[in-house]
Copies of this chain bind each other. A is one copy, B any other.
Amino acid sequence: MNEREIIARLRRIATDPAARGLADDAALLDGLVITHDTIAEGIHFLPFDPPASVGWKLVAVNLSDLAAKGAAARAVLLSMTIGDPDWDEAFIDGLEAACESYSVALIGGDTIALPARAPRVLGLTAIGRAGKRTPSRSGGRPGDALWLVGTLGDSAAGLKQLLADPKAAGPLVDHYRRPVPLLAAGPALARRASAMMDVSDGLLLDLARLCEASGCGAEIDLGALPLSQAFIAERGEGRTARLFAATGGDDYALLAALPAGLDPLSLSLPSQARVTPIGRLVERNGIALTHDGEPVELPETMGYEHHRP
């Protein structure tokens, strides 16, 4: 079984309504939104990434899932492999900094030792209080406008810089190592979003999941994708750069389907949020890309799918 088949198998078990069919990034139980993400050395972070940034990122990626469900982050449980005292202490420093920044409490977890030279595996369960509405991935309807909060590609560009030069630094590397969960924007959008999720594995792959769950397709204008100045300076803003940004992943931007005509500025989003219309949902299945008014073929790789290298 590959990841897709395993998830299909798990879905057949997960029949409880709280599971939301495992079609979402989070469960909803007794008014709490609950999510769990695990990150592994060599897969989700680099062996030479500063351990404090790994601790930060573990918290941030989980809080991003809560943001995408419009929840108020409340608490986390940590699962931590231990072995290298200096690394472990700095990792906890970063985890603590993120918990303090976002006012979430560490309330439990587990520590285990791994055999020497095994990759570190770090898990976090994050718990938030649900808002009045908890949008799923599956509520999107043809005609909804697709909005993105945040920018795309920064993190993937930062990772490329690091793979070329482990000493690379700058805003793109920062975005890769210390993503910022959009905890204020999420609840604001959740009040009206038909469907919402965070972009963690690449916009096109995650959008395909939203479309599949919602039973519809989407049209995306590559030219509309929000790119940062740092990204443009590094990789340009041509079609290749935009396809890279649309498939790179690790963005932790929010993707929301909103009723057509709704102006997100009416939703009290935080003033610093960059909110961009990028396309719309349509009846016809599949994702149709355009750029400068021309159709663009979908890339072979839509994003990051986990598989054994």
Q: CB within 8 Å of B: which residues of A? A: 1-3, 5-7, 9-10, 13-16, 18-20, 22, 24, 26-27, 29-32, 34-40, 42-44, 74-75, 77-83, 85, 88-89, 92, 95-96, 99, 105-116, 118-119, 121, 123, 125, 127, 129, 306-309
Could you say which residues of chain B place their CB within 8 Å of the CB of A83? 308
Could you say which residues of chain B place their CB within 8 Å of the CB of A116? 308-309
Could you say which residues of chain B place their CB within 8 Å of the CB of A80? 6
A-B contact pairs, 5 of them (CB 8 A): A1-B88, A10-B111, A19-B106, A34-B125, A38-B81
Contact across chains for A127 and B34 when beta carbons are under 8 A apart: yes
Could you say which residues of chain B place their CB within 8 Å of the CB of A129? 30
Contact across chains for A88 and B123 when beta carbons are under 8 A apart: no
Contact across chains for A123 and B308 when beta carbons are under 8 A apart: no
Q: How many monomers of this protein are in the complex?
A: 2
The 8 A-B residue pairs with the shortest CB-CB distance, nearest first, are A16-B105, A27-B107, A19-B107, A27-B108, A121-B121, A113-B306, A125-B125, A83-B308
The winner among A31, A113, A121, A129 for most chain B CB atoms within 10 A is A121
With A6-B92, A92-B6 as contacts: A105 and B19 at CB distance below 8 Å? yes
Task: Describe A's contact surface by its main secondary structure.
Answer: mixed
Contact across chains for B29 and A127 when beta carbons are under 8 A apart: yes
Contact across chains for A77 and B107 when beta carbons are under 8 A apart: no
Closest residue of B by beta carbon distance from A305: B113
- A14-B108, A19-B105, A29-B74 known, 16 other contacts, Cβ within 8 Å: A1-B88, A6-B111, A9-B89, A14-B106, A14-B107, A34-B77, A34-B127, A36-B123, A38-B112, A39-B112, A40-B114, A82-B306, A83-B308, A112-B121, A113-B306, A113-B308
Could you say which residues of chain B place their CB within 8 Å of the CB of A5? 85
In the assembled complex, the Cα of A4 lies from the Cα of B38 at a distance in Å of: 23
Could you say which residues of chain B place their CB within 8 Å of the CB of A13? 92, 95-96, 99, 106
From the candidates B14, B36, B105, B306, name the one contacting A125 in the complex (CB within 8 A).
B36
Could you say which residues of chain B place their CB within 8 Å of the CB of A34? 77, 107-108, 125, 127
Could you say which residues of chain B place their CB within 8 Å of the CB of A40? 81, 112-115, 118, 121
With A1-B89, A77-B27, A308-B114 as contacts: A105 and B18 at CB distance below 8 Å? yes
In the assembled complex, the Cα of A39 lies from the Cα of B80 at a distance in Å of: 11
In the assembled complex, the Cα of A20 lies from the Cα of B264 at a distance in Å of: 41
Closest residue of B by beta carbon distance from A26: B108
Contact across chains for A37 and B110 when beta carbons are under 8 A apart: yes
Contact across chains for B88 and A6 when beta carbons are under 8 A apart: yes
From the candidates B18, B75, B78, B95, name the one contacting A29 in the complex (CB within 8 A).
B75
Give, as a whole number of angstroms, the nearest-CB distance from A176 to chain B. Answer: 18
Could you say which residues of chain B place their CB within 8 Å of the CB of A35? 77, 108
